[in-house]
Amino acid sequence: MTRALPTTQRPKNGVPAWLPRSLTGAAGWIDVEPGAYLFHAGDPVRWVYWVEQGVLKLVRYAPDGTEIVLHRAGGGEVFAEASLSAGRYHCDGLCVRESRLLTLPAVPFRQALRNDPDFAEVWREGLARALRSQRARYERLGLKSARARVLHYLVSEGRGEPPAIKLSGTLREWAEELGLAPETLYRTLADLVQAGTVIRNGPIIQLTAY
Amino acid sequence: MTRALPTTQRPKNGVPAWLPRSLTGAAGWIDVEPGAYLFHAGDPVRWVYWVEQGVLKLVRYAPDGTEIVLHRAGGGEVFAEASLSAGRYHCDGLCVRESRLLTLPAVPFRQALRNDPDFAEVWREGLARALRSQRARYERLGLKSARARVLHYLVSEGRGEPPAIKLSGTLREWAEELGLAPETLYRTLADLVQAGTVIRNGPIIQLTAY
DNA sequence: CGTCGCATTGATATCGCTCAAATCCGGTGG
DNA sequence: CCACCGGATTTGAGCGATATCAATGCGACG
């Protein structure tokens, strides 16, 4: 059932520096189109992917066919790394937006983790960082009010004293990250500025001091 | 500012088997009461905690004093392991429910990760598993309807075909995990049973087949 | 037998989502 | 330089799903 992967070969630029040579040697670039499946549940694990650009997702399906998204990965992230500790995939991996991926063979990847302590440490740090980030996002979405989510974001992701952030994308994208409709974020931000709780200078958003 | 830790010594039972001897030798049991701080932001990192029982949380504070929860840890989980890659804590760690903890000194812990490949692998697997779980929970909370969250939970956490789960706790606890008011979960479950989408036998909840 | 917490159901209020229209802004082509 | 276009940003209005408040039943436990 797995659709054949596009195999466009690309020059090996942009390979993350933290990958050991034993892996980069066997790696290859591919481009995938939205809707294309990288693998299906049950397929033997062959590759782990590093996402240079684009968006991918891991999905399962409810009996009625409803898609259940387990994870979304974007640029700079590793995709399907859970498969490293499994022989077969436990969900489908598919492309959401046109993506360029670095394919890393799973077997040498596992070997590198066991044999290269430096790589293992970098990998471990990456997992820990991702886990921290994910926990904070989870706690944030547990908050019921838009106001509380925005403040949570500013405090947990912000830098400085008082905390401030610089939006890298659009407000719409931020709204999606916060699990809010864009309109709700617009209004909530306006209210917070109105109330003097935050100050906004274009893409810079800052909590006011005590 | 850090309140002195309770230092009740306990017999060394219940130590997780995956910990290397180099760590268990230096470990100790403590009991902490709700409201007690294990550490404050800025404190030098001394310990990582394994939670035998209880609930702890990592928090920061908004300028107005609002508590921002970054993470909650319960029985069987490791707490404050992010501190392993930092010299100082970046948030406060405090006790939510009476807890019994195993204190693991940070320095030997880091050494063990570097020097003991087996331990490093177990640790890595644990991080990866926690990360997967957290991603699924995050995607779930991103769903706006109670119905969708329940179905997502059944598909992503359920076992078998069609997916089924056995509730280990109360429905209230499940509701909290789903980010719903308990009443909403009661009603949603009743509706799903009514509609024939799920079957419920006490704590066993199962999706119906196609 | 009394108490406590969970489960359940009812009634109501509220907040955020949705649909809509107007404006702004950057980029593009004439 | 200007007209035009598409997407983001705002603001308005209304609806609906969920939270909240309440009351009852139930079972465990002392």
Mind listing the pLDDT tens digit for each residue in A90-116?
899 999 888 899 999 999 999 999 999
pLDDT band with cut points at 50, 70 and 90 for residue B7 = very low
Question: A184: which nucleotide lies closest, measuring CA to C1'?
Answer: C16
* Interchain contact, A62 vs B114, CB within 8 Å: no
Nearest-CA neighbor of A177 among B142, B93, B164, B42? B142
B141 interfacial to chain A (CB closer than 8 Å): yes
A74 interfacial to chain B (CB closer than 8 Å): no
A132 interfacial to chain B (CB closer than 8 Å): yes
B147 touches strand D (CB under 7 A): yes
Give the predicted TM-score (pTM) of the model: 0.88
Choose among B113, B136, B144: nearest Cβ to A70.
B136
Mind listing the pLDDT tens digit for each residue in A46-85?
999 999 988 899 888 877 778 878 888 888 899 998 888 8
Choose among A82, A136, A141: nearest Cβ to B141.
A141
pLDDT band with cut points at 50, 70 and 90 for residue B66 = confident
Choose among B62, B63, B179: nearest Cβ to A141.
B179
B41 interfacial to chain A (CB closer than 8 Å): no
Is the link from the previous residue into B20 a cis peptide, with omega within 30 of 0? no
Residue with tokens 């997916």: B163
pLDDT at A136 over 70: yes
- Estimate to the nearest angstrom the gap between the alpha carbon of B142 and the chain centroid: 19
A151 interfacial to chain B (CB closer than 8 Å): yes
| CB-CB neighbors (< 8 A) of A142 in chain B | 141, 179
Q: How far is the CA of B180 from the C1' of C10 (A)?
A: 19
